[in-house]
Structure 1
Amino acid sequence: MKIPTPPYRCPLGRLQPETTDLEAMKQRGWRDQHILVVNAADERLDFIEREFVRRIGERLYGQGGARHG
């Protein structure tokens, strides 16, 4: 009876990071530190909300980071 040889496992495989649940991390960031991470194209937002997020992003980080006001 032949026993199949197991496939070679690279020793560097254990150094690869575990996958992270990004939505859970965003949720925890908001609850713990009030940091909001939003994609301006998120389909869960309606047009007005997406435009609002886009304008805030442009105000804070657009034009090379120049602030208005």
Structure 2
Amino acid sequence: MRWHPRGYGGTRRDPEQVKQDGWHDQGLLAVSVDDPRLTWPERELVRQLGDKLYGRRAESREAANG
């Protein structure tokens, strides 16, 4: 018998397809702050939203001036 339950066997979706389906089906947005398809203001907006919702990233913290 060659039947497999959903999610087992068959082809695997690429990460971009998973992100696209998440947006279309559930209104979830998964975007990298380093996505080259975004302009600088768009990347900055993504960074600011991430900081607001989840706190600053450890690697994005800057040294204090002074």
Instruction: Supply the AA of the counterpart residue of 2:44.
Output: E
Quick check: 1:39 aligned with 2:32?
yes
TM superposition shift of 1:35: 0.2
Runs (5+) with no aligned partner, structure 2: 1-10, 57-66
TM superposition shift of 1:41: 0.6
Quick check: 1:26 aligned with 2:19?
yes
Task: Report the secondary structure of 1:27's partner residue.
Answer: helix
Identity of aligned residues (%): 48
Higher helix share: 1
Kindly indicate whether structure 1 or structure 2 has the higher relative contact order, using CA contacts under 8 Å at least 6 residues apart: 2
Instruction: Supply the AA of the counterpart residue of 2:34.
Output: A
Larger Rg: 1
User: Following superposition, which runs of at least 4 residues in structure 1 exceed 2 angstroms of deviation?
Assistant: none
TM-score by length of 1: 0.62
TM-score by length of 2: 0.65
Question: Superposition RMSD on alpha carbons, in Å?
Answer: 2.0
**How many pairs align?**
48
Quick check: 1:57 aligned with 2:50?
yes
Runs (5+) with no aligned partner, structure 1: 1-17, 64-69
Partner of 2:5: none
